[in-house]
Structure 1
Amino acid sequence: MYRIFFLFFFVFCFSCSQSSEAFLKKGKELMQSGQTKEAIEFINKAIEKNTSNADAFNVRGVAYYEMKSFPNALLDFDQAIELQPTAYRPYYNKGLLFTDQNKLDSALANYDLAAKYAPDTADVYLNRGMVHTLLDSRELALADFKKASDLNANSVMAWYNMGNIYFHDKNYKEAAQAFRQTVSLDPSSGKAFYGLALCYYQLNETDLTCTTLQQAVSLGYTDAKIALEKYCKKD
C-alpha cells in the first residue's frame, strides 16, 4: 500500500513539476511519431498549465486537423489567433483546413494574413498559389509560385506548378524551363518528365520528346507510355 501510494505521489509530483512548454514539447514529439491521440493528452496538460500558451492551442489544432476533427481544430486555431494575432501559423493552418473543406475564399483570406505576418515563408505562397489555381486565377497563382521559388529555390512543387500554368497558357519555353528545374530537383518525378516531354513536343523537339517520354515511362508514369506509343512510333 505504501509503495503504491509512493508511486502515485511520485507521478503526481512529477506532473506538477512540469511546465506548460515541457508538456507541449512531449506532445509535439508524440505527434511526430504518429501518436496523435496520445499527443493531445499532453497538449491538454500544457494548456491547463498555461491557458495563454498560443502555440499549444495551435499545435492541438493541428492534431485535431490530422484526426479530421475540423470544428475542434478551427476553435483551437481561432484561440491561438486571439492570444497571438500576429503569428502566421494559425492562419496558415486555417488555410489548409478551409482548402480541405473547399471553402476557397476563406482559405485565401487566411493565406493572405499568413503572408502578411510571414512574408518570407515560401510555403505560404505555395499554398496560396494552389488556391488561386483552384479558383482559376492563373496570373495570381503564377505570381505566388514565382515568389515561393524565389524564397526557396528547391521547392519542387513551386517549379512544377509554374510549369503547369505556363503550359496551360501555351508558354511552352517557360514551361519547359520550369519542368527542367523540377526534374533536376526531383529526378524521380515521372509527371514532371511527362510535362517536359509535352513541352518538347509542342516545340517540335522530336528526339527530346521521345527520350523524355521514355524517362517518364521508366518512372512508372502511365500517361507517358500512351504518349510514347502515339508520338514516337518507329516506322
Structure 2
Amino acid sequence: MLTQLLRCLTLCLMLVLLMLPAQAAEDGYQVLDELANQAEAATEAGRFAQAEGFWTQILERFPDNAAAWSNRGNARVSQGKLNEALDDYSQAVELAPNVPDPYLNRGTAWEGLSEWDKAIADYDRVLELNPNDAAGYNNRGSAKAGRGDWQQALADYRKATELAPGFAFARANYALALYQTEQPLLAEREWRNLARRYPNFADVRAALAASLWVKGRRGEAESYWVGAVGLDPRYKDLDWVSQTRRWPPTLVSALQRFLELE
C-alpha cells in the first residue's frame, strides 16, 4: 500500500471538553496529550500494536474524538487489520463529516482490500472538501491504477505534482504511470531528477535499473540497482513490488527480466 498516504489528525481540534469544569478540562487535556505523545512515539518506532493500545485508551476516555478514531485506524492499517481500520475511519467520518482526513485514510483501507471504487468515492469526497489536496489526488490516482485505469491515474498524479511540486512520492507515481502509458523517456527523466534530488529514494533507483536494463544499458542499470537494494532489499521480491508497492505491469515485467538475467 505504498502508493498512497495516511494522515494523522490533530487531537485538540476534535476534543470536546468545553462544558466541563475548568480543572476537569485541564486534566482531560493533560491525559490526552500524554497518551497521544506515547502513541506518536510508538508509531515512529514502528510499534503499531502499542500505538493502537494508546489510541484505544484515549477513546475509552473520549469516545467522541474523531481524530483518535482516525489515528487508531492508521495504527490498524499499519498492522494489516483493514476491516477493523474501516470501522474506526467510518466512526471518525460520522463524528466529523466535513473533515477530509478520515475519508483519505479510509480510502487507503479500501485500497488494501482491492475495493477500488469505494476508495475512489472516499477520495472524491476529500477533493470535494479540499480541491487542492495533493494527497487526495495522489491516492485517487493509486486507486484508479489499481483498477487498471492508468490514463486517469496519470492525470491525478500530474495534478498532485502541480499542487505540491515537492511531493516526491506523487512524482514517483507519476513516472510509473508515464511508463505504463508508453512514455518511457518522460518517465526516465522524472526518475533521474528524483534520484538526483533524493539520492536515498530506493523506488526511483529500482525503477531506473529495470527500465534501463530492457534498453540494453546494463552497466548503468546495475549501478542504480546496487543503490536501490542497498537501501531497500524488498525490490528483489517481485510479489512485493507488484502487490504492495503496486508498480505497473510493464515495469514489473522489466524488473523480472532484470532479475532473471542479473
Q: TM-score, normalised by structure 2?
A: 0.66
| Aligned amino acid, residue 32 of structure 2 | E
What is the number of equivalent residue pairs in this alignment?
Answer: 209
| Aligned amino acid, residue 157 of structure 1 | F
Give the 3 Å change call, closer, same or farther, for CA 60–161 of structure 1 in structure 2.
closer
Query: Is residue 114–residue 146 contact of structure 2 (8 Å, CA) maintained in 1?
Result: no
Distance (whole Å) between structure 2 residues aligned to residue 97 and residue 32 of structure 1:
20
Counterpart in the other structure of 2:27: 17
What's the CA shift for 1:97?
Answer: 0.7
Query: Is residue 122–residue 147 contact of structure 1 (8 Å, CA) maintained in 2?
Result: yes
Give the 3 Å change call, closer, same or farther, for CA 62–172 of structure 1 in structure 2.
closer
Q: Which runs of 4+ in 1 moved over 4 A?
A: 220-227
Higher relative contact order (CA 8 A, sep 6+): 2
Distance (whole Å) between structure 2 residues aligned to residue 28 and residue 69 of structure 1:
19
Provide the identity percentage. 22
Q: 1:31 aligns with which of 18, 43, 46?
A: 43
Gapped regions of structure 2 (runs ≥ 5): 1-25, 230-235, 237-253
Task: Classify the secondary structure of the residue corresponding to 1:219.
Answer: helix
Distance (whole Å) between structure 2 residues aligned to residue 220 and residue 46 of structure 1:
40
Distance (whole Å) between structure 1 residues aligned to residue 44 and residue 136 of structure 2:
21
Within 5 Å, give how 1:56-135 maps onto structure 2: 56-135=68-147
Describe the superposition over 1:35-57 as per-residue Cα deviations: whole angstroms up to 9, x where unpaired.
43443443233223333211111
Q: 1:191 aligns with which of 196, 200, 206?
A: 206
**Between Structure 1 and Structure 2, whose CA radius of gyration is higher?**
1
What's the CA shift for 1:118?
Answer: 3.5
Structure 2 residue 158 is the aligned partner of structure 1 residue 150? no
Query: Is residue 180–residue 196 contact of structure 1 (8 Å, CA) maintained in 2?
Result: no
| Aligned amino acid, residue 137 of structure 2 | Y
Query: Is residue 28–residue 59 contact of structure 1 (8 Å, CA) maintained in 2?
Result: no
Q: TM-score, normalised by structure 1?
A: 0.72
Query: Is residue 206–residue 225 contact of structure 2 (8 Å, CA) maintained in 1?
Result: no
Gapped regions of structure 1 (runs ≥ 5): 1-15, 231-235
Q: CA RMSD in A?
A: 3.3
